[in-house]
Amino acid sequence: MDSALLIVFILAGVLVGILIAIALILISRTNHSLKGQYDERQKLMKGKAFESAFYTGLGYLLLIYLLDLGHFRFPVQTGLVALIGGTLSLIVYVTQAIFTDAYIGLNEKYGRTMLIFIVCALLNIFPAVSNYVNGTYVKNGVLSNTFGNVIILFMILYVMIIMTIKHLLSEREGSDEES
């Protein structure tokens, strides 16, 4: 494929992604029914999940700092090291919030939430494949920041799997209580 045409496709994909993100933000700000509503227990559980994520991120940064003091160099670009830490913290938050029923608000539906994650996953697949095809993941023997889409894609897939497991467990508990 011609590199100019590939650049046009990438730019078009980025533009579509930005437009979708802007549309979702505008819809969520104007339609208050889309804003998650949480009861007091959920708010408390979200706070505990945020705390766990904060300490995870802090521990990650301390580990990176100590390794840097020991002159250990990661074979990845600095931006990717930061993204991995943020992703790790986010995974801790999401996992804890999902399993304490504090991730999805009272007025939110599982299907609608999953649809948003599917769109986000699809928006990360295109640049991930494009970067793979172009061979931009490794530059000078170092994993480059372009690998970030792969990390984000795996995080989104992880969250979707955890949400599905929790949804299935909740449905099973609901059917067991009815029996």
Going residue by residue through the chain, which has 179 residues, state the pLDDT in tens, using 9 for 90 and above: 567 777 777 778 778 877 887 777 677 656 555 556 778 888 899 999 999 999 999 999 999 999 999 998 889 998 999 999 999 999 999 999 999 988 877 667 888 888 888 988 988 888 888 889 988 899 888 999 999 999 999 999 999 999 999 999 988 887 766 65
Amino acid identity, position 121: A
pTM of the model: 0.75
Per-domain residue ranges for the chain? Answer: 1-35, 38-178
Question: Could you tell me the CA-to-CA distances from 67 to 60, 61, 70, 71, 143 in Å, in that order?
Answer: 11, 10, 5, 6, 18
pLDDT of the residue at 31: 56
Give the model's pLDDT for residue 108: 76
Q: Which pLDDT belongs to residue 19?
A: 82
pLDDT reported for residue 179? 57
> What is the reported pLDDT for 33?
54
CB atoms within 10 A of CB 146: 21
Report in angstroms the alpha-carbon separations of 19 from 16, 117, 125.
5, 16, 17
Q: Which two tokens stand for residue 60?
A: 């990650």
DSSP 3-state assignment of 40? helix
For residues 128 and 150, the answer to whether their CB atoms sit within 8 Å is: yes
The residues that bridge with 142 in the sheet, in sequence order, are 139
Nearest-angstrom CA–CA distance, 58 and 15:
34
Nearest to 48 by CA among 96, 104, 120: 96
pLDDT for residue 95 = 95
Give the contacts of 164 (CB within 8 A, at least 6 positions apart).
Answer: 114
Q: How far apart are CA 42 and CA 164, in angstroms?
A: 19
